[in-house]
A = this chain, B = another copy of it.
Amino acid sequence: MNTPQLTSALQGRFSPLRFDPNHQLSDADVVTVLEAARWAPSAGNAQPWSFHVRRRGEEGHDQLVEHLAASSRRWAPAASALVVNMARREVDDSGMTYSEFADYDLGQAVAHMTVQAHAMGLACRQFRAFDLEGLHDTLGVRPGWHILTMTAIGVPPRGDTTPPARERRSIVDLRTAGVSSPPHRRLQG
């Protein structure tokens, strides 16, 4: 069987290691990537996600940059925008679960945002190298909500070539890693 061809929506997507510090996102760009996240599916349609967005040069962007770790501070401030990705796990401060799929659903919403960005010629890099507790306090994250990651959105610097794709496990491993049941005998792909 030949290597399967992915849809152009996913083909060529990658997480840039550097961003063009001069590229700007328009208001419409920001609204459109958020709209993509908004229409992601979620368990029971709970939509357990929220996004705090600041563009480079915009009020509040510095506040996000201040909380970056040394490693991400080398590249993330150059991105056109930083997005703080939050999941609602609990109902306020009651200790009751709001959604046991909060993290999973947030991941889906961020993936939708990334796919939309890719279609618009933008690229996203998600990361966790920041002071989570400090950022939590600074933003006033509401009870029940949790910051999981940040996404840097922008374009790679002109002339930067696509970095080599990071290795992936085989598709057989993808099917067998989690279970001891063998994959179906007729289909080994």
Contact = CB atoms under 8 A, between A and B. Distances in A.
Interface of A: 1, 3-10, 13, 15, 27-28, 30-32, 34-41, 43, 45, 47, 49-54, 58-60, 84, 86-88, 101, 103-108, 110-112, 114-116, 119-120, 126, 128, 139-142, 145, 148-149, 165-169, 171, 174-181, 183-187, 189
B119 A9 contact: yes
Nearest to A47: B169
A184 B112 contact: no
A7 B28 contact: no
A51 B174 contact: yes
Contacts of A6: 32, 35-36, 39, 116
Contact of A45 (B5, B167, B179): B167
Contacts of A110: 104, 108
A44 B38 CA distance: 26
The complex is assembled from copies of this chain, and their number is 2
A50 B9 contact: no
A149 B176 CA distance: 17
A174 B139 contact: no
A27 B111 contact: no
Nearest to A178: B50
Contact of A115 (B7, B52, B107, B177): B7
A141 B177 CA distance: 9
Given A47-B168, A51-B175, 12 more contacts: A3-B35, A4-B31, A7-B116, A8-B9, A9-B115, A30-B189, A34-B171, A52-B179, A103-B103, A108-B110, A112-B115, A141-B178
B142 A178 contact: yes
Interface centre among A31, A34, A45, A185 (most CB of B within 10 A): A31
A107 B111 contact: yes
A39 B10 contact: yes
